[in-house]
Amino acid sequence: MPTTLRESQLPGLNLVHRGKVRDVYALSAAELLIVASDRLSAFDVVLPDPIPGKGEMLCQISNFWFDKTAHLVPNHLTHKPVETVLPPGTDASLYIRRSVITKRLKPVPVEAIARGYLIGSGWKDYTATGQLCGIRLPEGLRQAEQLPEPIFTPSTKAAVGDHDENIGFDQLVTRIGGPLAEQVREATLSIYGWAARFAAERGIIIADTKFEFGTDENGTLYVMDEMLTPDSSRFWPAEDYRVGISPPSYDKQYVRDYLETLGWNKTPPGPSVPAEVIAATASKYAEALKRLADITLD
Ligand SMILES: Nc1ncnc2c1ncn2[C@@H]1O[C@H](COP(=O)(O)OP(=O)(O)OP(=O)(O)O)[C@@H](O)[C@H]1O
Ligand SMILES: [Mg+2]
């Protein structure tokens, strides 16, 4: 059975960050323990109700992709067993499927986005300017249309409460330097291309996705954080895909649609969500995990 954990409690460990979804503990100067909770954020606000098992699904799906793509780009996983670092008396079953021990890296301050399809903020940008993050695209593309080739569209990592902002490649170069910017673009497109082909064979379109990277003390680039999850990507079931509409995806759409009916002003505190919306959301995450990785958590 999936476990439910809204907030990790690991007394004695050094909590360095409680994000919207993950709790991050420093085990040493070199390693982190990252726990994926069942918190759900929508419109950048964390909702009061957890989605049971969501953190386990996110962690398992990320681990699956990290392993599958390790031949392309090194990743932050150490593969050390989590049980060994939990404080005495901890219920290990709550943590083992949702936690990883990782290398502690220096984050590259950019959201590295790969887009294969024209949707979301990319579609908005294109309809307004004919470009996407400064990249000129052919005329007459329609919503959700596949791009001639996947493109790299970096955005800033916004501070708490702020929204990310798309930037051009030249702005990325200014921020992090040309060689690192090139490496990040190359790594982003290489992982995206591989994963998109893999998913296509399983009937899923990866319309776009966001990666985070970090460097170690030698300057080696690693992919870190989470990878190719429904929270960081738009996954479209191929059978529902049509050009010209925004296809339904394996993400928080149920919750977002429900929240839109409330007239909530999208500032904290977030409203409570009915059990059936929670269950539908959990089953969407489970379906993505099953279809992509053939993993079932119960
Ligand atoms: N190997 C790593 N080394 C260093 N930092 C990491 C590593 N992997 C992930 N992180 C960082 O850990 C954090 C994960 O937390 P989470 O994604 O929940 O929150 P966030 O994105 O920082 O904040 P929020 O989602 O609340 O805006 C991120 O800041 C991410 O950049
Ligand atoms: Mg994050």
Site to probe by mutation for ligand 1, drawn from 224, 226, 229 as the one with most ligand atoms within 8 Å of Cβ, is: 224
**Residue 1 lies inside a defined structural domain of this protein:** no
52 and 154, same structural domain? no
Distance 39 CA to ligand 2 centre (A): 12
220 and 116, same structural domain? yes
Q: Are 175 and 110 in contact (CB under 8 A)?
A: yes
Nearest CA to 234 among 250, 257, 211, 255? Answer: 250
Cα separation, 235 vs 198, whole angstroms: 13
Is the CB of 210 within 6 Å of ligand 1? no
Cα dihedral 276, 281, 286, 287 sign: positive
Cα separation, 156 vs 173, whole angstroms: 12
**Residue 79 lies inside a defined structural domain of this protein:** yes
The percentage of the chain sitting over the pLDDT mark of 90, rounded to a whole number, equals 87
140 and 81, same structural domain? no
94 and 179, same structural domain? no
Which letter, b or e, does each residue of 111-125 get, where b requires 16 or more Cβ atoms within 10 Å of its Cβ? Answer: bbbbbbbbbbbbbeb
| CATH number for the domain harbouring residue 34 | 3.30.200.20
112 and 236, same structural domain? yes
Domain encompassing residue 171: 107-240
235 and 111, same structural domain? yes
| CATH number for the domain harbouring residue 177 | 3.30.470.20
- The model's pLDDT over 238-250, given as tens digits with 9 standing for 90+, comes to 999 999 988 888 8
**Residue 49 lies inside a defined structural domain of this protein:** yes
pLDDT value for 31: 98
Is the CB of 214 within 6 Å of ligand 1? yes
- The model's pLDDT over 116-167, given as tens digits with 9 standing for 90+, comes to 999 998 999 999 999 998 899 999 999 999 999 999 999 998 766 667 888 9
pLDDT value for 218: 98
**DSSP states of 37-91:** -S--EETTEE-SS--TTHHHHHHHHHHHHHHHTTTTS-BSB----GGGGSPTT--
- The model's pLDDT over 199-234, given as tens digits with 9 standing for 90+, comes to 999 999 999 999 999 999 999 999 999 999 999 999
**Residue 156 lies inside a defined structural domain of this protein:** yes
Cα separation, 261 vs 251, whole angstroms: 18
User: What SS3 state is found at 278?
Assistant: helix
- The model's pLDDT over 264-278, given as tens digits with 9 standing for 90+, comes to 999 999 999 999 999
* Domain count for the chain: 2
**DSSP states of 135-146:** EE--TT--TTPE
204 and 156, same structural domain? yes
119 and 65, same structural domain? no
Is the CB of 76 within 6 Å of ligand 1? yes
Q: Are 54 and 38 in contact (CB under 8 A)?
A: yes
82 and 112, same structural domain? no
Nearest CA to 184 among 166, 207, 210? Answer: 210
Longest dimension (CA), the chain: 61
- The model's pLDDT over 159-200, given as tens digits with 9 standing for 90+, comes to 666 678 889 999 999 999 999 999 999 999 999 999 999 999
Cβ-Cβ contacts under 8 Å for 189 (sequence gap 6 or more): 114, 150, 152
186 and 80, same structural domain? no
**Residue 260 lies inside a defined structural domain of this protein:** no
Q: Which residues is 117 bridged to in the sheet? A: 146
Is the CB of 69 within 6 Å of ligand 1? no
Q: How many other β-carbons are positioned within 10 Å of the β-carbon of residue 219?
A: 10
Q: Which atom of ligand 1 is nearest to the CA of 22?
A: 18
Mean pLDDT value across residues 47-57: 96
Is the CB of 109 within 6 Å of ligand 1? no
Cβ-Cβ contacts under 8 Å for 215 (sequence gap 6 or more): 105, 106, 108, 180, 221, 222
**Mean of all residue pLDDT scores within the chain:** 94
Distance 21 CA to ligand 2 centre (A): 7
DSSP summary character for residue 180: H
User: What SS3 state is found at 17?
Assistant: strand
Distance 18 CA to ligand 1 centre (A): 9
**Residue 253 lies inside a defined structural domain of this protein:** no
**DSSP states of 187-245:** HHHHHHHHHHHHHHTTTEEEEEEEEEEEE-TT--EEEES--S-TTTEEEEEGGG--TTS
147 and 68, same structural domain? no
